[in-house]
Amino acid sequence: MYRSQELCVTGQRLSDTNTYSPRSEGKVTDFRIIGKPVPRHDARDKVLGLARYAEDFSLPGMLFAKVMRSQYASAKIESIDTSIAEKLPGVKAVLTARDVPKNETVAQFGRSSTERGFESIYRVLADRKVHYIGEPVALVAADTEETAERAVNLIKVKYESLPAVFDPLLAMEAGAPQVEDGRSNIITHFEVVKGNIDEGFSEADVIVENTYQVPFVDHAYMETECGVAWVDDDGVITLRVSTQVIDHFRSVADILGLPHNQVRIIAPYVGGGFGGKEDITVESFIALLAYKTRKPVKLVYSREESILCHSKRHPYILEYKVGAKRDGRLTALKVRLVSDAGAYAYLSPWVLLYSTGAATGPYRIPHVRVDGYTVLTNNIYTSANRGFGAPQVCFAYESQMDELAASLNMDPCEIRMINYLSQGESLAFGQILKTHVALPETTKRAYEALGKKVPSQGGMRRGRGIASGMTSYGRMLFLHDTSRSHVSIEMDGSVTIRAGIQDIGGGQASSLCQIAAEILGVPLKDVKIYIGDTALTPLSGMTTATRQLCMSGNATLMAAKEVRKTLLKKAGELMREDPETLDLVDREVIANEDPEKRLDIVDVVRACAAEGLPLYHLALYKAPSRDLTQIERIEGDIFADFTYGSHAVEVAVDLETGKVTVLKVIACYDVGKAINPQSVEGQMEGGAIYGLGYALTEEVIIQEGVIKTPSLSEYLVPTSLDIPKVQTILLESGDGTGPFGAKGVGEPSVNSIAPAISNAVYDAVGIRIRGLPLTLEKVMRAIGEKESPHPGSKTNIATSDSVGRNQARQNLLKGQAKDSSDLERR
Ligand code: MOS
């Protein structure tokens, strides 16, 4: 790790704290625990295999659930016969849509008389019709998994096949089969309009126009969707489930027709979320079965079921037309985005909103028009996936910047530097960038860290690529986000945090402990956190949108400061000192002026307790918010703040096999303030690897609605043998909206790696592949076509080749033997 010195303007956030005064103001070194790579309390348990996940939980008399699913992409359900399945010994319940009190939920957005708005439908179980292969049709609970599986196969459904549509562009056409009866396949349209797009292109000296495509992607978390539900003694339905959102307890209650306070959701450690556990997964199924049978019910998706039946990252078709002056200044950008929502909307409109807002990238463009569409098809449904619509558009705009650089014969870093927005400037839809925009620094540092160029040898062509991105953290402003945290100090001076967060592996819980320990002057080991239980912890909102550190971190900071205030006020009385001059350090109150003057924290706590003073505080942090003025046209602030960063990579392309090996990855981000640098690095490394899979191998292949990659031997995530060491460079502007100036990094870390790799492949061999992933086959085909282009072929090879920018390209396929020693594999 390397941390920038000049960006370390930490401490500025401290000035607005009136109860927290480090001994010498405003220096990062004054933090005792914040900013230190402290071991996370969950790390040991996880390494030793002791951490208990949702699946590791069992109860006496527990039943096992299985889901019976559609094998049709589009069909009418004529009848469902469950009688044979029900008679199978060991079967305790078979449920269909008829048995679900509220099977269908229609969420509405934008209902004014002038706005069309949109609706999204969620069904627990298919009733009249199935809309995709894998749609749940019936549920079974039985004594054993095997019996449940057998029962599923004994359910007889009579279908009548209906026309289906699998291509979003076809689905947009008039007369296309309707995925949801009586509704348009186009769920929603968002647009950004700035200036006059025709004028912008007429001012341009060069115009680059291309269409990009990105695939369906699986979350491929280690832990598949799973959970256990039971009816507690008091009649409360309790779920212990792998989720990013315990707040789904409300939806589960609605589905069961129960009051919200009769459903409790507990989130233990989560073995990976990546957006895939942002929607309801198994919750409604196990809750319904437990409610029906009055027995505990467990459901664990197999890997195959997870790949075949849960949400995917949206594939997009991205049409980009960009114009620039000869000196590299952008004049115009026209974008059309079409995302495949699959058969149900889920979070597709929100993902599209992010994409439409982010489509320009972090660039200053006078004339802009972006149109985004998300469209229903009879494919598996798509929803949140790490980056939430940002990686798709980043691949397109950062490829475009490279193509523009090539056609202008400019350096790829330079053209970006010329066009980066600065603090105080605004995005195309009018949102002003209020905090430091670190992109010039992140670009420079990331690229420089690649070091000296090693020349290509033999059939191994080396190339370098750079790409940058801006990714919002925190939920969109019109969602009026809040988080709560409860902090208390016990009679022995130990500290308890209660926060309804879900820790999905990013160290969410551990960071809150650091914040409380810092403010209350106790060692980290003296802080205990209770998380993720809707009955016992105050609601802190979902672990999504890279929001948790910012939101619950701020709430925890606020709560801890209140407790600190109470303690120091009392200590001031006891010590006859001004509380402002006191500090809390290692379980002692000390006088800043006279460090000999000390008081044990336990004495202060006792004195407070004797007087009945509150030794706890429940804080509510409310994010800045704003209502949308209209639905379709994006205008003004819609995001809270952004994290800026860059990836620089070096690749080797094997001319014989088409294999792209990533030799070096540098990830450089302004993280605001690294609360735990180790966790931040973990996110940046994980994000880079996640994006590496997106770039090179990961694709859920779907043909006519059938998923052809049902296991991890067809769906290829990078293994430890495929990944280079990821070098991380953390910059700390201290300018974030989170505690101590922290920004979020979980999702931003994944954003720009794929275009960086694609740009490096172009640098290495002069081929431009505009559809991810860059598989061996695509690379070989593109190399072949570059060598002998045949007329009329629809190749994806860039026509805008920058002459002489890359020596390697000129020697392409000159018949030199492959030299594997060129690959610096670790
Ligand atoms: Mo996310 S993709 O907001 O979990």
Read off the amino acid at residue 777: E
Query: Which ligand 1 atom is at minimum distance from the Cα of 545?
Result: 3
Does residue 789 share a domain with residue 755?
no
CA 689 to chain centre: 14
pLDDT, tens digit, 9 for 90 and up, residues 221-262: 999 999 999 999 999 999 999 999 999 999 999 999 999 999
pLDDT of residue 15: 29
Average per-residue pLDDT in the chain? Answer: 92
Q: Which two tokens stand for residue 471?
A: 């990714």
Does the bond joining 614 to the residue before it have cis omega, within 30 degrees of 0? Answer: no
Rounded to an integer, what distance in angstroms lies between the CA atom of residue 163 and that of residue 161?
7
- The answer to which of 27-31, 513-517, 583-587, 672-676 has the lowest mean pLDDT is 27-31
Does residue 786 share a domain with residue 766?
no
| Contact by Cβ (8 Å): 314, 389 | yes
Does residue 449 share a domain with residue 407?
yes
Q: Which two tokens stand for residue 274?
A: 């990546």
pLDDT of residue 23: 36
Going across the sheet that includes 297-300, the strands are: 91-96, 136-142, 63-69, 297-300, 226-231, 237-241, 263-266
- The answer to which of 22-26, 62-66, 139-143 has the lowest mean pLDDT is 22-26
> Between 13 and 680, where is the model more confident?
680
pLDDT of residue 796: 38
Does residue 787 share a domain with residue 670?
no
pLDDT of residue 114: 55
Residue 531, domain member (yes or no):
no
Does residue 422 share a domain with residue 323?
yes
Q: In this structure, how many other beta carbons lie within 10 angstroms of the beta carbon of residue 567?
A: 27
Report which DSSP code applies to 604: H
Q: Reply yes or no on whether the pLDDT at 287 is more than 80.
A: yes
CA 244 to centroid of ligand 1, rounded, Å: 9
Rounded to an integer, what distance in angstroms lies between the CA atom of residue 706 and that of residue 218?
15
Q: Is 384 in the pocket of ligand 1 (CB under 6 A)?
A: yes
Residue 225, domain member (yes or no):
no
Q: Is 278 in the pocket of ligand 1 (CB under 6 A)?
A: yes
Q: Reply yes or no on whether the pLDDT at 29 is more than 80.
A: no
List of E strands, 635-712: 641-654, 660-670, 702-703, 706-707
Rounded to an integer, what distance in angstroms lies between the CA atom of residue 417 and that of residue 419?
5
Which residue's alpha carbon is nearest to atom 4 within ligand 1?
275
Query: Which ligand 1 atom is at minimum distance from the Cα of 277?
Result: 4
Taking the CA of residue 766 as centre, how many other CA atoms within 13 Å lie in the half-sphere pointing to its CB?
A: 21
Q: Which two tokens stand for residue 601?
A: 């924290």
Does residue 784 share a domain with residue 742?
no
pLDDT of residue 4: 41
Does residue 795 share a domain with residue 746?
no
CA 274 to centroid of ligand 1, rounded, Å: 6
- CATH number of the domain to which 358 belongs: 3.30.365.10
CA 279 to centroid of ligand 1, rounded, Å: 10
| Contact by Cβ (8 Å): 316, 355 | yes
pLDDT of residue 631: 84
Does residue 784 share a domain with residue 741?
no
Report which DSSP code applies to 313: E
Residues 497-521 have a mean pLDDT of 97
CA 272 to centroid of ligand 1, rounded, Å: 11
Residues 312-328 have a mean pLDDT of 98
Residue 727, domain member (yes or no):
yes
> pTM for the whole thing?
0.92
pLDDT of residue 630: 82
Q: Which two tokens stand for residue 715?
A: 């769906």
Q: Reply yes or no on whether the pLDDT at 367 is more than 50.
A: yes
CA 180 to centroid of ligand 1, rounded, Å: 26
Residue 651, domain member (yes or no):
yes
Whether the CA torsion 613, 619, 624, 627 is positive or negative: it is negative
Q: Reply yes or no on whether the pLDDT at 462 is more than 80.
A: yes
Give me the percent of the chain exceeding a pLDDT of 70: 91
How would residue 116 be classed by pLDDT, with cut points 50, 70 and 90?
Answer: low
C-alpha closest to that of 505 among 50, 48, 40, 1: 40
Q: Is 692 in the pocket of ligand 1 (CB under 6 A)?
A: no
> Between 820 and 292, where is the model more confident?
292
- CATH number of the domain to which 74 belongs: 3.90.1170.50
Q: Reply yes or no on whether the pLDDT at 658 is more than 80.
A: yes
Q: Is 506 in the pocket of ligand 1 (CB under 6 A)?
A: no
Rounded to an integer, what distance in angstroms lies between the CA atom of residue 161 and that of residue 456?
56
Q: Which two tokens stand for residue 284?
A: 């409604």
Q: Is 665 helix (H, G, I), strand (E, B) or coil?
A: strand
C-alpha closest to that of 385 among 533, 179, 215, 531: 215
DSSP line for 490-533? -TTS-EEEEEB----SS-HHHHHHHHHHHHHT--GGGEEEEESB
Last residue of a domain, one of 120, 146, 162: 162
Residues 396-415 have a mean pLDDT of 98
Query: Which ligand 1 atom is at minimum distance from the Cα of 278?
Result: 4
Does residue 744 share a domain with residue 684?
yes
Q: Is 541 in the pocket of ligand 1 (CB under 6 A)?
A: no
- The answer to which of 127-136, 181-190, 315-324, 768-777 has the lowest mean pLDDT is 181-190
Rounded to an integer, what distance in angstroms lies between the CA atom of residue 468 and that of residue 691?
13
pLDDT of residue 822: 35
Identify which of 277, 386, 549 to mutate to test ligand 1's pocket (most ligand atoms within 8 A of the CB).
386
Identify which of 247, 278, 339 to mutate to test ligand 1's pocket (most ligand atoms within 8 A of the CB).
278
C-alpha closest to that of 579 among 557, 601, 600, 564: 564
Q: Would you call 618 exposed, middle or buried from its count of C-beta atoms within 10 A (0-12, 13-18, 19+)?
A: middle
Does residue 687 share a domain with residue 794?
no
Residue numbers of the domain that contains 135 = 61-162
CA 544 to centroid of ligand 1, rounded, Å: 4
Q: What's the number of domains the chain is made of?
A: 3
pLDDT, tens digit, 9 for 90 and up, residues 707-746: 999 999 999 999 999 999 999 999 999 999 999 999 999 9
> Which residues sit opposite 651 in a β-bridge?
463, 662
Residue 622, domain member (yes or no):
no
Rounded to an integer, what distance in angstroms lies between the CA atom of residue 745 and that of residue 674?
10
Helices vs strands, H then E, count in the chain = 19, 33
pLDDT of residue 595: 87
Rounded to an integer, what distance in angstroms lies between the CA atom of residue 685 and that of residue 309?
28
Give me the percent of the chain exceeding a pLDDT of 90: 87
Residues 270-299 have a mean pLDDT of 98
Q: Reply yes or no on whether the pLDDT at 610 is more than 50.
A: yes
Q: Reply yes or no on whether the pLDDT at 530 is more than 60.
A: yes
Q: Reply yes or no on whether the pLDDT at 626 is more than 60.
A: yes
Q: Reply yes or no on whether the pLDDT at 798 is more than 60.
A: no
Does residue 791 share a domain with residue 646?
no
> Between 76 and 796, where is the model more confident?
76
How would residue 41 be classed by pLDDT, with cut points 50, 70 and 90?
Answer: confident
Q: Would you call 783 exposed, middle or buried from its count of C-beta atoms within 10 A (0-12, 13-18, 19+)?
A: buried
Residue 646, domain member (yes or no):
yes
Q: In this structure, how many other beta carbons lie within 10 angstroms of the beta carbon of residue 819?
A: 14
Query: Which ligand 1 atom is at minimum distance from the Cα of 547?
Result: 3
| Contact by Cβ (8 Å): 177, 165 | yes
Rounded to an integer, what distance in angstroms lies between the CA atom of residue 468 and that of residue 438?
11
How would residue 818 be classed by pLDDT, with cut points 50, 70 and 90?
Answer: very low
Does residue 763 share a domain with residue 709?
yes
Report which DSSP code applies to 366: S
Give the DSSP H or E segment for 778.
Answer: helix 776-787
Query: Which ligand 1 atom is at minimum distance from the Cα of 244?
Result: 4
